[in-house]
C-alpha cells in the first residue's frame, strides 16, 4: 500500500530548476506554483512570479521501495513549456480501514531543466510539498494495497528562477 501511494504521490511532484553554485547563499524564492491534480497525472498549474501563467502540468514518475521517488513534470503554458525533474519522499501515509480512503503527504526538490518559447534559457531550483487522497477497494482482509484512483493531489512549490 505504501509503495502504491508513494507512486501516486510521486506522480505529482512539482519541479523546476538547477542547484545553486557551491558556496552560494540561496536567494529568496521568486516563483510560486500550485498544481491541482484530480484523479490523474495531468493537473492545472497556476504560476506566479517570474512565470505568470495558467497551464497544464503532466507528470511521469518512478517510486522506489523506500518511499522515495523521482520524475519529471512538463508544464505547458500558452507561451511555452518548462521541464522540471524532481526527487522526493513520502512523508506520511494513512488509510481508513473502514472506507479504504487514504491520505498522504510528500516533500522534495526540483530543478528547471529547460524551457521553450518565452521560457527558452530558463533555469532554477526549488522545493515542494504535496497533500493528497486516494481510494482503494475494500477486501475481506482490509483494503486492497493498490489504490484505484488518486482522487486529489495539491502540490505547492517555491523556487528561485533565472532567465
CATH number at residue 141: 2.40.350
Q: What is the pLDDT of residue 26?
A: 64
Question: How does residue 30 score in pLDDT terms, banded at 50, 70 and 90?
Answer: very high
Q: What is the pLDDT of residue 141?
A: 86
84: how many CB neighbours lie within 10 A of its CB? 30
Q: What is the pTM of this model?
A: 0.81
Tell me what the mean pLDDT of segment 50-75 comes to: 94
Q: How many domains does the chain have?
A: 1
Cell 530558463, located at residue: 122
- 9 CB-side CA count, 13 A: 32
How would you label 131-159 residue by residue, b for 16+ Cβ within 10 Å and e otherwise?
Answer: bbbbbbeeeeeebeeebeebbbbbbebbb
5: how many CB neighbours lie within 10 A of its CB? 28
- Give CA–CA dist 11/82, Å, rounded: 17
Domain holding 147, by residue range, is: 2-20+29-162
Q: What is the pLDDT of residues 103-146, one digit of tens each?
A: 999 999 999 999 999 999 999 999 999 999 999 888 888 998 77
Q: Which residues pair with 115 in a beta bridge?
A: 82
**Separation of CA 72 from chain center:** 9
The answer to whether the beta carbons of residues 119 and 82 sit under 8 Å apart is yes
Amino acid at each position: 500500500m505504501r509503495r502504491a501511494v508513494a507512486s501516486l504521490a510521486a506522480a505529482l511532484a512539482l519541479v523546476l530548476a538547477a542547484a545553486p553554485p557551491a558556496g552560494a547563499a540561496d536567494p529568496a524564492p521568486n516563483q510560486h506554483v500550485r498544481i491541482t491534480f484530480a484523479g490523474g497525472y495531468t493537473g492545472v498549474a497556476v504560476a506566479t512570479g517570474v512565470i505568470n501563467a495558467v497551464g497544464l502540468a503532466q507528470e511521469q514518475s518512478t517510486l522506489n521501495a523506500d518511499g522515495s521517488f523521482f520524475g519529471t513534470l512538463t508544464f505547458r503554458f500558452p507561451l511555452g513549456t518548462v521541464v522540471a525533474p524532481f526527487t522526493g519522499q513520502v512523508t506520511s501515509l494513512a488509510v481508513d480501514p473502514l472506507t479504504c480512503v487514504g491520505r498522504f503527504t510528500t516533500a522534495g526538490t526540483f530543478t528547471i531543466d529547460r524551457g521553450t518559447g518565452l521560457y527558452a534559457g530558463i533555469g532554477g531550483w526549488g522545493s515542494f510539498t504535496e497533500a493528497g487522497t486516494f481510494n482503494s477497494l475494500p477486501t475481506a482482509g482490509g483494503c486492497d494495497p493498490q489504490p484505484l484512483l488518486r482522487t486529489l493531489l495539491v502540490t505547492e512549490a517555491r523556487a528561485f528562477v533565472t532567465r
